[in-house]
Amino acid sequence: MDIYFLGTGAGMPSTTRNVSSLALRLTEERGTFWLFDCGEGTQHQLLHSPLKMSKCEFIFITHLHGDHLFGLPGFLSSRSYQGGQTPLTVFGPKGIGDYMKVCFGVSRTEVSYPLLIKEIEPGVVWEDDQFIVTAMQLSHRIPTLGYRIVEKDRPGKLKFELLRDKGIPPGPVYGQLKQGKDVQLPNGELLFATSVLGEPLPGRTVAILGDTKPCDNAVRLARNADLLVHEATYMHDKADNANEYGHSTAQQAAEIAREAGAKKLALNHFSSRYKEGEQMDELLTEAQSVFPNTVLALEHHVVTIAEGAEGTA
């Protein structure tokens, strides 16, 4: 489970950064990814990544500013041509339905897979047997959502020695037990999964915030998260600019992570005023002085959310 950053720039693309988009790659067993925001050029970024459009399951839009949205019609259209046939749901704030209706209507675009556009309110927006996704309102110039993705606890690891002692060879039975399913053996014995599994593995939590000034909901979304993805449009000497335009500084993002008790912070959504190299190093240093376990999320950068440990970049 990790995050693949497709675009980390603020406002408009530059020669080194595209506008906002990131992919949450889920468990290997699930084999899919969820896209968060889809700025212009996102599908081009995907072509230079290991991600396949056909494997995208959900798209979560944080808000309707163009640098987070203008790539969505092209992505959805191209997904048909890239072999995407499985259903896809787009979640977003009020207005996302009208936007897609106009884009597809005027361009007469049709897709070959079931597509659902779902306008959401704060609260639980998705839940299945593996994950629960909650949205909360942030503080920006227009209505903006942040998302908290919680992986539910998973069955513990198989006790292989115990299975070998019972004379059970590796095979489909192992897979069923690992999923927590009881199995009837050929000799008629009912083998309870709980008897051959270790302690349940705690699920991981990721908070992915849209554009925002520091606010209480940012802390709530990031509470004890294994990873917080937070914008850092400016350094703190531009705090007045950040406040005026509804953004955060690197220092403020670090303060949110510290207050929330997050384990790791990944900064993104950087102003084009900050060039690769020394200026970005200064931005990182500013955040690390408050919250040491901070990394910069650059183009095609991956941050892993490891099981039972802090993620590594």
How confident is the model at residue 308, as a pLDDT? 55
63 annotated among ligand-binding-site residues:
yes
d(CA 209, CA 220): 11
> Can you list the domains of the chain with their CATH numbers?
2-154+201-304 (3.60.15.10), 160-196 (no CATH)
d(CA 16, CA 164): 54
How confident is the model at residue 211, as a pLDDT? 97
68 annotated among ligand-binding-site residues:
yes
211 annotated among ligand-binding-site residues:
yes
Which one of the listed residues 2, 37, 67, 226 is annotated catalytic? 67
pLDDT tens digits, one per residue of 7-23:
999 999 998 999 999 99
Active site residue 129: no
| CA separation, residue 190 to residues 168, 182, 220 (Å) | 13, 7, 44
The tokens of 140 are what? 């920006």
Is there a contact between 81 and 54 (Cβ–Cβ < 8 Å)?
no
Is there a contact between 11 and 67 (Cβ–Cβ < 8 Å)?
yes
User: 215, 175, 217: which is closest to 196 by C-alpha?
Assistant: 175
d(CA 3, CA 305): 8
How confident is the model at residue 197, as a pLDDT? 85
Q: What is the pLDDT along the chain (313 residues), one digit of tens a residue?
A: 999 999 999 999 998 999 999 999 998 878 899 999 999 999 999 999 999 999 999 999 999 999 999 999 999 999 998 888 999 999 999 999 999 999 999 999 999 999 999 999 999 999 998 999 999 999 999 999 999 999 998 777 888 888 887 788 888 888 888 777 888 888 888 888 888 888 888 899 999 999 999 999 999 999 999 999 999 999 999 999 999 999 999 999 999 999 999 999 999 999 999 998 899 999 999 999 999 999 999 999 999 997 754 443 4
Tokens 């041509």 correspond to what residue? 81
pTM to 2 decimals? 0.89
Torsion region of 152: left, alpha or beta (phi above 0 gives left; psi -120 to 50 gives alpha): beta
pLDDT tens digits, one per residue of 297-308:
999 999 999 775
Q: Outline where DSSP puts E strands in 15-60.
A: 21-25, 33-36, 56-60
pLDDT tens digits, one per residue of 75-86:
999 999 888 899
Quick one: CA torsion of 247, 251, 252, 254, rounded to 10 degrees? Answer: 120
